[in-house]
Amino acid sequence: MIFFSILTNFLYKFFIIFIVLICIIFCASMLSIVERKFLAYFQNRIGPNRVGWNGWLQLLADGIKILFKEDWIPPFSDQYIFCIAPLISFLTLLFVLFTIPIKKNFFIVDLNIGILFFFMMTSISVYGILLAGWSSQNKYSLLGAIRASAQMLSYEIFLGLSTMGVIAQSGSFNLIKIINSQKIIWNVIPQFFGFITFFIAILAICHRHPFDQPESEQELSDGYHIEYSGMKFGMFFIGEYISMITGASMITILFFGGGNGPIFPEYVWFILKTFFCILFFILCRASLPRPKYIHVMKFSWRICLPLTLLNLFFTAFFILYFKK
């Protein structure tokens, strides 16, 4: 009897994980159409409008095309690493999504070190790009990988520090506790500089414009995934959107109070806030030009790092002064 209950429990959890996984991957691939549509609206175009209802079935056409494309592994490449690299960049930030509480009692894993896990996974996700660029034996992809690592050196330093103010206020790394600490006021207002720096870091993690040096299409003609085709390229492609969803949901949890909000249920608020964050990502892509990677490094070391340190210093001061 006990065995049976354990089995059903296990099956139930497995089912939930499966459903969530399918939902996330579907949303991530759907996001490519959403992004194309919104980019078109920002640039006074129409965007894809041929397949399905006003272009919303474009995903199907793209999926069929990418599935049946020849999956070519270049003979001059380091084949083992070449195959593993897209997996790394696809899976790392997908794992982070499992720790994110959409409702207060709906999550797959409740980690006490939620934010630390996120940092760890973002650090590992760089390896996907690095190995992809290195193993495909191509000058362009190697340059892209070098740029990715240079960008990592610029954003990692203030990524952790920018969230330290939030963690100090809530007193925990646990994401649910952080959400609960924002019931009175969202963290955007007291931690405004933390929010801005974290937002910039998230843009850099997702390799979104304006921080898309690794895959700058104009100079490197796709950067690290230039040699990839078929489903391996698709994994990089969807992995980027998954990292976008992860980043946006981290922003909502840390700075916009997660699912907190009036009238609507929690998950509606969560999805709305995440969606608006993603929209802002797309707006940034549509409007801002790409800086050189030297400029990114200068900006992050000279401006963002002191800003986050000052932010952390003042939060610590206020916490010590008022909570005594």
Partner 1 sequence: MFIKIFFLQIYSQIRSLYLIFCNIFQASETRLYPEESLKLSSRYRGRIVLTRTKTGEERCVACGLCAAVCPVSCISLQKTEDKTGRWRSEFFRINFSRCIFCGLCEEACPTLAIQLIPDVELGDYEYKNLIYEKKDLLISGTGKYDDYDYYSFSGVTLKKTKIKKFFHKKKNVDIKSLLP
Q: Are 141 and 133 in contact (CB under 8 A)?
A: yes
Q: Coil, strand or helix: which one is 131? A: helix
Q: Does residue 292 touch partner 1 according to CB under 8 A?
A: no
CB of 10 to partner 1, least distance (A): 47
Q: Does residue 13 touch partner 1 according to CB under 8 A?
A: no
Q: Does residue 310 touch partner 1 according to CB under 8 A?
A: no
For partner 1, the binding residue among 11, 288, 310, 316 (CB under 8 A) is: 288
For partner 1, the binding residue among 16, 23, 46, 109 (CB under 8 A) is: 46
Phi/psi region, residue 137 (left: phi>0; alpha: psi -120 to 50; beta: rest), is left
Q: Does residue 87 touch partner 1 according to CB under 8 A?
A: no
Q: Does residue 287 touch partner 1 according to CB under 8 A?
A: yes
CB of 286 to partner 1, least distance (A): 5
Q: Coil, strand or helix: which one is 315? A: helix
Q: Does residue 305 touch partner 1 according to CB under 8 A?
A: no
Q: Which residues pair with 103 in a beta bridge?
A: 106
Segment interacting with partner 1 (CB under 8 A) among 156-164, 197-205, 229-237, 282-290:
282-290
CA distance 214 to 151: 8
Quick one: which of 246, 217, 225 has its CA closest to 131?
A: 225
Quick one: which of 226, 239, 213, 227 has its CA closest to 300?
A: 213
Segment interacting with partner 1 (CB under 8 A) among 44-52, 59-67, 123-131, 150-158:
44-52
- Residues contributing to the site for partner 1 (CB under 8 A): 38, 40-46, 49, 283-284, 286-288, 303
